[in-house]
């Protein structure tokens, strides 16, 4: 069994800027606060590093070539210490929280003492290092101040195409595209032209790939420039001391919140539909959480072994699952997101699982399973800290990828219709949010309908909330989305959606939400009997369509305790049908849309009888 400490340090012998920190400590012993860190300057630097990463993010958005970057925001930027500790991450994709830091640590080990110099920019898309897939290209720029390595600026962004098989289910990494090991894109200011030529030759749309590459370079050079401005203005050591103090503050906050969770061992289980190869064979997930004082251990060693299909992810993602859950539970609004927040977290992984996969496991659709793992951590702790947890959500990006030859210019196009968004789980005191992108992608946006229709031979017939999809409860789960997309030319569509058969669960007596669903409309007839929501290399002719229905969130609390007036409002908004208002909430709505108080009281008394299963079979 492999045991790792989230946020652990990497050893290196480079000439690094000194930061007054205790390097070695016993488990449970806090680090002393950084001496000499001025409180006022600390807050200036706190906001300064956030501003730096947000400007990196903005510049990348404004210069990128592909919609998945400039519209969907499928990227993350960050600043890191000279040893690879996270200083600040631009708000974006939560699951990237660990990938960039691990990449920088690997680069420090790989290039060794004296191997980095001013003007260097490093690159890789190693899926087993970043934990994700080959589409994520990561550029890192070592920042030198007066000849001393002081930090790194880093950017990880999604390239829509990196070669490899177009569509279908891959079963090994070699069929998924070009693999770039740890290399220097730029050495002492000189670009590696051979590398650029190799990249151009191995992607289908080289002009767009090179455009996004330049946008990422813009992001990391922005980070370098702005961070050096902070050092020049306030002094190198005072800034580094302030960063150390920020991390200590984050650590203290996380430890304090962890102490408020009752000690104990908590477990939860879930499953995924299948791996796309062995259709119908469920993928089991089991998480174990141990709380001991001010420290938490999240044990993911009992999740499924890596699978044949492309739903695996590397160990970096296993750590990220734990870190995302821990951050949400202990310090969700503590900014910047930095290494200190995770010093009180221990993560346990076993090699060769779906979140610690080893070569040559397929990784192309790496992001799907981790969402349910994070949800399961919340589920495990829901009975002891219900005020901080959330019911299950739709847990899938619900992306459809479409390719074909554009009638406009007779060139290949590659389109992505998601992430669609869906229902999030309710929590104590609050309904779940609707039509919101899944946990894995955080601040990622959906693609505007007008953009899709303008750029590609597609017509979006419908994009609407999915009635009755939210799980019933005292607090209702959020609603999913129904999206119908019609082809206007011959195209091929791929959908790799999961969580059809494991619907988003309710908590504390709340009912499950609807699961995800995919159907097809071929030659005017709707195909609804698909075994799952994975549709691979499906040809569509003009006027054929595919339908994606995302799940709703699970409910929280007994539905019979929901305020009848809120149920009536839900019916008026068409979030909930009159039938479900009666069957699940016990609320009778008259012809004028008002609550019939007498009939409601009588119906609720009847439904409250023991052993009454109120969930209709059709919801599954």
Task: Name the stretches of the chain with pLDDT < 70.
Answer: 1-36, 92, 611-620
SS3 for 379-415, per residue? HHHCCCCHHHCCCCCCCCCCCEEEEEECCCCCCEEEE
pLDDT for position 2: 37
pLDDT for position 72: 85
Residue 336, CA distances (Å) to 16, 36, 47, 222, 341 in order: 23, 21, 8, 18, 10
Cis peptide before 43 (omega within 30 of 0): no
Domain boundaries, the chain: 7-18+30-250, 390-557, 561-619
Q: Are strands 345-349 and 295-299 parallel, antiparallel or unpaired?
A: parallel
Match 């600390």 to its residue by tokens. Answer: 42
What stretch of H or E contains 110? helix 99-111
DSSP letters, 126-154, are -HHHHSS-TTEEEEEEEEEETTEEEEEEE
Interatomic CA distance for residues 159 and 414, integer angstroms: 11
295: number of Cβ within 10 Å: 17
DSSP letters, 432-478, are PPSSB--GGGTT--PPPHHHHHHHSSEEEEEEEE-TT-SPPSSBPPP
Match 């001013």 to its residue by tokens. Answer: 118
Take residue 336 and report the two structure tokens written for it: 């910047």
Cis peptide before 516 (omega within 30 of 0): no
Interatomic CA distance for residues 301 and 239, integer angstroms: 39
Q: In what order do the strands lie in the sheet with 491-497?
A: 412-416, 400-405, 491-497, 533-540
Residue of 325, 550, 566, 554 whose CA lies nearest to 426: 554
Interatomic CA distance for residues 339 and 335, integer angstroms: 11
Interatomic CA distance for residues 65 and 88, integer angstroms: 25
Residue of 582, 536, 541 whose CA lies nearest to 277: 536
Interatomic CA distance for residues 527 and 523, integer angstroms: 10
379: number of Cβ within 10 Å: 25
Q: What backbone torsions phi and psi does residue 244 show, to the nearest 5 degrees? A: -60, -40
Q: In what order do the strands lie in the sheet with 136-145?
A: 86-89, 75-81, 148-158, 136-145, 121-124, 183-187, 190-191
SS3 for 149-178, per residue? EEEEEEEEEECCCCCCCCCCCCCCHHHCCC
What stretch of H or E contains 483? strand 481-487
pLDDT for position 32: 55
Residue of 615, 465, 486, 487 whose CA lies nearest to 549: 465
334: number of Cβ within 10 Å: 17
Residue partners of 451: CB distance under 8 A and separation at least 6? 67, 71
pLDDT for position 612: 47
Match 């599954």 to its residue by tokens. Answer: 620
- The full length of the chain comes to 620
Residue of 431, 366, 363 whose CA lies nearest to 396: 366
The structure's pTM equals 0.91
Residue partners of 157: CB distance under 8 A and separation at least 6? 60, 64, 69, 74, 75, 76, 136, 137, 212, 215, 216
Interatomic CA distance for residues 596 and 591, integer angstroms: 10
What is the tally of helices (H) and strands (E) in the chain?
13, 21
SS3 for 321-380, per residue? HHHHHHHHHHCCCCCCCCHHHHCCEEEEECCCECCCCCCCCCCCCCCHHHHHHHHHHHHH
Interatomic CA distance for residues 83 and 85, integer angstroms: 6
DSSP 8-state code for residue 539: E
4 touches 227 (CB < 8 A): no
């Amino acid at each position: 069994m492999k045991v790792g400490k989230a946020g652990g340090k990497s050893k290196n012998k480079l000439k690094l800027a000194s930061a007054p920190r205790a390097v070695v400590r016993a488990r449970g012993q806090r680090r002393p606060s950084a001496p000499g860190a001025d409180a006022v300057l600390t807050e200036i630097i706190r906001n300064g590093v956030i501003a730096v990463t947000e400007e990196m993010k903005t510049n990348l958005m404004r210069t990128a070539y592909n919609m998945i970057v400039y519209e969907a925001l499928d990227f993350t930027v960050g600043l890191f210490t000279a040893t690879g500790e996270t200083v600040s991450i631009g708000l974006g994709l939560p699951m990237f929280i660990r990938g960039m830091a691990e990449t920088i640590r690997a680069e420090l080990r790989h290039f060794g003492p004296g191997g980095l110099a001013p003007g260097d920019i490093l690159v890789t898309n190693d899926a087993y290092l970043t934990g994700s897939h080959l589409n994520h290209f990561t550029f890192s720029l070592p920042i030198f101040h007066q000849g001393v390595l002081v930090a790194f600026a880093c950017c990880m962004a999604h390239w829509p195409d990196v070669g490899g098989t177009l569509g279908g289910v891959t079963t090994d990494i070699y069929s998924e595209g070009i693999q770039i090991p740890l290399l220097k894109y730029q050495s002492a200011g000189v670009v590696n032209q051979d590398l650029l030529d190799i990249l151009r030759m191995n992607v289908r749309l080289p002009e767009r790939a090179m455009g996004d590459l330049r946008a990422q370079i813009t992001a990391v050079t922005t980070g370098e420039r702005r961070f050096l401005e902070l050092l020049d203005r306030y002094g190198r050591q005072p800034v580094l001391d302030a960063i150390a103090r920020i991390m200590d503050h984050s650590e203290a906050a996380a430890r304090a919140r962890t102490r408020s969770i009752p000690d104990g061992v908590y477990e939860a289980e879930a499953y995924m539909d299948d791996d796309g190869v062995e259709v119908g064979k469920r993928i089991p997930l089991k998480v174990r959480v141990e709380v001991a004082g001010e420290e938490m251990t999240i044990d993911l060693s009992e999740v499924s072994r890596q699978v044949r299909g492309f739903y695996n992810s590397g160990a970096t993602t296993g750590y990220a699952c734990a870190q995302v859950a821990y951050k949400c539970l202990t310090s969700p609004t503590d900014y910047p997101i930095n290494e200190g927040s995770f010093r009180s977290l221990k993560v346990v992984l076993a090699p060769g699982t779906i979140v610690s996969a080893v070569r040559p496991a397929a990784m192309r659709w790496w992001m799907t399973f981790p969402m349910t793992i994070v949800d399961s951590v919340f589920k495990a702790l829901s009975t002891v800290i219900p005020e901080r947890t959330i019911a299950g959500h739709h847990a899938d990006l619900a992306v459809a990828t479409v390719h074909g030859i554009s009638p406009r210019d007779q060139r290949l196009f590659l389109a992505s219709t998601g992430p669609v968004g869906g229902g999030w789980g309710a929590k104590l005191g609050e309904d779940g949010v609707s039509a919101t992108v899944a946990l894995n992608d955080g601040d990622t946006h959906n693609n505007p309908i007008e953009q899709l229709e303008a750029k590609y031979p597609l017509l979006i017939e419908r994009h609407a909330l999915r009635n009755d999809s939210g799980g019933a409860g005292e607090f209702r789960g959020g609603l999913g989305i129904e999206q119908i997309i019609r082809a206007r030319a011959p195209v091929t569509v791929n959908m790799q959606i999961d969580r059809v058969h494991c619907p988003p669960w309710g908590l504390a007596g709340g009912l499950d939400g609807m699961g995800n669903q995919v159907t097809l409309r071929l030659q005017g007839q709707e195909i609804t009997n698909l075994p799952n929501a994975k549709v691979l290399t499906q040809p569509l002719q003009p006027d054929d369509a595919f339908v994606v229905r995302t799940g709703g969130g699970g409910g929280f609390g007994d539905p019979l305790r929901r305020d009848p007036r809120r149920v009536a409002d839900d019916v008026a908004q068409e979030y909930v049908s009159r039938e479900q208002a009666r069957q699940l909430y016990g609320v009778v709505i008259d012809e004028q849309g008002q609550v019939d108080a007498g009939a409601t009281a009588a119906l609720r008394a009847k439904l409250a009888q023991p052993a009454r299963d109120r969930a209709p079979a059709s919801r599954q």
